[in-house]
């Protein structure tokens, strides 16, 4: 595929000026200190206005690769033919729904099409309440499920911010099953014990709700928690939680926006790794390769309960012909290019090689993931697990500025380096990341040694932000000039 020549409408400085004037300040950019102006994408790469190529390790939204030609062609063909709302019959909608139902286990077979993950999770809440006639919902700490009022209410990642809204009484927060630095850890418990301990936290919430004379509508959780720091739950956790919720008449919602469609490598859906079947599954933009589409799939019984209210549901552009053509093309590409198998092969290599870094660098505390969903947690002390937040920021910026690799940081302490690249990410890309990441870790180790020598201490002394030398952590550009 030949690169497309891109002509800028305005220089980067003018783009920034107009953005500062006309775009809300709460709409934040990646790399706020030195934002990128990306003008083109292709596969697992992005290009700025100067033609610099960046390896993209963060855009799970471009699920089958930026601007995949088959996806682009499908969208263009349909847009040239018809783009209208979904209240007319069209084959693309029912074909897409059937394909997703065929890939879903159990009774999951009825689809609702929306425009985003936020809308999908909002509708999932409505479906749960219509079916159970209850309002209380259980979520996991640090979870993010969308930016609508209803989904912000079940997103501790947002409402726990200093100026966040007060959590409603009908929302209950359980500890995430973080076996590394969570409430219960693998230091003192086996995986089986951890599954039961974390499930018991949900059971305690259920008992409290019922003790107050109410019932549980639903438990909602990402099958693998993303914003919480790339959390992989212990085996049997979801099964225990799902059973506890269903035992009292509640239902379970699996948010698969970040981790569905083969990303985990072993299965098409991440929840399948724990041998469970949710009552509702939500999905969004990755299934449209970045096109604004969201989908909810549920059981006939839940869909019927929603319909029995007599209030019709429609979403003007959810499931429009263009969106459905794109989703069908994405499903074709996942299957024809064996992207689930690629995620398994490349992910295993990436995770295994990342784990070896723990032996060479004390900064690397934990490596966890599945397929092309990876988190590397950085710490300053292996006993206290003090989070290395500033060091994570340094690495994110240095990876961009020196190595032209895009990664992000997340988790409650913002100390987890997070990778969820396009599914066309290959072994060579993984090795490119590993080499650059090792260089960043080595640079930080060198800074720490120098700091220890300057202050007359041992090299085990943590590099703290108050040390003069560590001003370099604030900008990788400064460090690059110093090399």
* Residue 373, both tokens: 């969903």
Model confidence pLDDT, tens digit, residues 128-167: 999 999 999 999 999 999 999 999 999 998 888 888 788 8
Q: Predicted confidence band at 2 (pLDDT cuts at 50, 70, 90)?
A: low
Q: Predicted confidence band at 474 (pLDDT cuts at 50, 70, 90)?
A: very low
The mean pLDDT value for 356-385 works out to 96
Q: Predicted confidence band at 458 (pLDDT cuts at 50, 70, 90)?
A: low
The mean pLDDT value for 370-396 works out to 97
What is the 3 state secondary structure string of the chain?
CCCCCCCCCCCHHHHHHHHHHHCCCCCCCCCCCCCCCEEEEEECEEEECCCCEEEECCCCCCCCCECCHHHHHHHHHHHHHCCCCCCCCCHHHHHHHHHHHHHCCCCCCEEEEECCHHHHHHHHHHHHHHHHCCCEEEEECCCCCCCCHHHHCCCHHHHCCCCCCCCCCCEEEECCCCCCCCCCCCCCCCHHHHHHHHHHHHHHHHHHHHHCCCCEEEEEEECCECCCCCECCCCCHHHHHHHHHHHCCCEEEEECCCCCCCCCCCCCCHHHHHCCCCCEEEECHHHHCCCCCEEEEECHHHHHHHHCCCCCCCCCCCCCHHHHHHHHHHHHHHHHCCHHHHHHHHHHHHHHHHHHHHHHCCCEEEEEECCCCEEEEEECCCCCCCECHHHHHHHHHHHHHCCCEECEEECCCCCEEEECCCCCCCHHHHHHHHHHHHHHHHHHHHHHHHHHHHCCCCCCCCCCCCCHHHHHHHCHHHHHHHC
| Of 212, 202, 187, 185, residue with least CA distance to 243 | 202
- The confidence score (pLDDT) of residue 450 equals 72
CB-CB contact of 369 with 378 (8 Å): no
- The confidence score (pLDDT) of residue 466 equals 36
- The confidence score (pLDDT) of residue 4 equals 66
Cβ neighbours, 10 Å, residue 460: 9
Question: Is the model's pLDDT at 460 over the cut of 60?
Answer: no
* Residue 267, both tokens: 């299965």
Chain centroid, CA 40 distance in Å:
23
Torsion of CA 206, 208, 209, 212, to 10 degrees: 150
Specify the pTM: 0.92
| Of 330, 267, 257, residue with least CA distance to 296 | 257
The mean pLDDT value for 213-228 works out to 96
More confident residue, 92 or 478: 92
d(CA 364, CA 39): 34
- The confidence score (pLDDT) of residue 300 equals 98
Q: Predicted confidence band at 39 (pLDDT cuts at 50, 70, 90)?
A: very high
Provide the b/e sequence for 427-459 (b: ≥16 CB within 10 Å).
eebbebbbebbbebbebbbebbeebbeeeeeee
Model confidence pLDDT, tens digit, residues 403-450: 999 999 999 999 999 999 999 999 999 999 999 999 999 999 888 777
d(CA 294, CA 285): 6
The mean pLDDT value for 50-75 works out to 97
* Residue 456, both tokens: 């007359």
* Residue 295, both tokens: 């989908």
The mean pLDDT value for 13-30 works out to 90
Question: Distances in Å between the alpha carbon of 35 and those of 163, 397, 406?
Answer: 25, 10, 12
Q: Predicted confidence band at 311 (pLDDT cuts at 50, 70, 90)?
A: confident
| Of 146, 89, 139, 137, residue with least CA distance to 114 | 146
d(CA 26, CA 458): 43
Q: Percent of the chain at pLDDT above 70?
A: 93
Question: Is the model's pLDDT at 476 over the cut of 80?
Answer: no
Cβ neighbours, 10 Å, residue 281: 27
Q: Percent of the chain at pLDDT above 90?
A: 81
- The confidence score (pLDDT) of residue 157 equals 87
Q: Predicted confidence band at 123 (pLDDT cuts at 50, 70, 90)?
A: very high
d(CA 450, CA 127): 59
Lowest mean pLDDT among 28-32, 38-42, 191-195: 28-32
Q: Predicted confidence band at 463 (pLDDT cuts at 50, 70, 90)?
A: low
Question: Is the model's pLDDT at 462 over the cut of 80?
Answer: no
The pLDDT mean for the chain works out to 91
d(CA 188, CA 125): 36
- The confidence score (pLDDT) of residue 447 equals 81
């Amino acid at each position: 595929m030949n690169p497309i020549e891109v002509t800028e409408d305005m220089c980067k400085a003018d783009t920034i000026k107009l953005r500062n004037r006309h775009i809300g300040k709460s709409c934040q950019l990646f790399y706020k200190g030195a934002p990128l102006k990306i003008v083109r994408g292709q596969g697992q790469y992005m290009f700025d206005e100067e033609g610099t190529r960046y390896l993209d390790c963060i855009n799970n939204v471009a699920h089958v690769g930026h601007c995949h030609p088959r996806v682009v062609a499908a969208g263009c063909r349909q847009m040239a033919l018809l783009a209208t709302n979904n209240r007319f019959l069209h084959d693309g909608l029912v074909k897409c729904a059937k394909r997703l139902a065929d890939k879903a286990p159990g009774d999951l077979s009825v689809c609702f099409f929306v425009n985003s993950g936020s809308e999908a999770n909002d509708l999932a809440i409505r479906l749960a309440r219509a079916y159970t006639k209850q309002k209380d919902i259980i979520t996991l700490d640090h979870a993010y499920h969308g930016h609508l009022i209803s989904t912000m209410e079940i997103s501790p990642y947002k409402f726990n911010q200093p100026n966040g809204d007060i959590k409603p009484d009908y929302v209950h927060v359980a500890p995430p099953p973080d076996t590394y630095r969570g409430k219960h850890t693998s230091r003192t418990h086996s995986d089986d014990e951890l599954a039961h301990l974390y499930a018991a936290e949900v059971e305690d919430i259920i008992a409290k709700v019922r003790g107050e004379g109410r019932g549980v509508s639903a438990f909602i959780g990402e099958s693998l928690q993303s914003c919480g720091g790339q959390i992989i739950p212990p085996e049997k956790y979801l099964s225990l939680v799902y059973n506890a919720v269903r035992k009292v008449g509640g239902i379970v919602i699996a948010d698969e926006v970040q981790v569905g469609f083969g990303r985990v490598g072993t299965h098409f859906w991440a929840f399948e790794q724990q041998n469970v079947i949710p009552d509702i599954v939500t999905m969004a933009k990755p299934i449209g390769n970045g096109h604004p589409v969201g989908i909810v799939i549920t059981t006939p019984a839940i869909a019927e309960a929603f319909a029995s209210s007599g209030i019709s549901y429609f979403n003007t552009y959810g499931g429009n012909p263009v969106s459905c053509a794109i989703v069908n093309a994405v499903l074709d590409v996942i299957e024809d290019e064996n992207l689930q198998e690629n995620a398994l092969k490349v992910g295993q290599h990436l995770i295994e090689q990342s784990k070896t870094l723990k032996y060479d660098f004390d900064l690397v505390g934990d490596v966890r993931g599945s397929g092309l969903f990876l988190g590397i947690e950085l710490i300053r002390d292996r006993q206290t697990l003090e989070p290395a937040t500033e060091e994570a920021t340094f690495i994110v910026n240095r990876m961009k500025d020196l190595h032209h690799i895009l990664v992000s940081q997340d988790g409650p302490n913002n100390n987890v380096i997070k990778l969820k690249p396009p599914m066309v990410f290959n072994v060579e890309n993984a090795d490119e990341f590993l080499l650059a990441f090792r260089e960043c870790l080595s640079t930080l180790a060198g800074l720490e040694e120098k700091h220890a020598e300057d202050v007359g201490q041992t090299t085990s002394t943590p590099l703290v932000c108050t040390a003069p030398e560590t001003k370099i952590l604030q900008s990788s550009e400064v460090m690059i000039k110093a090399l």
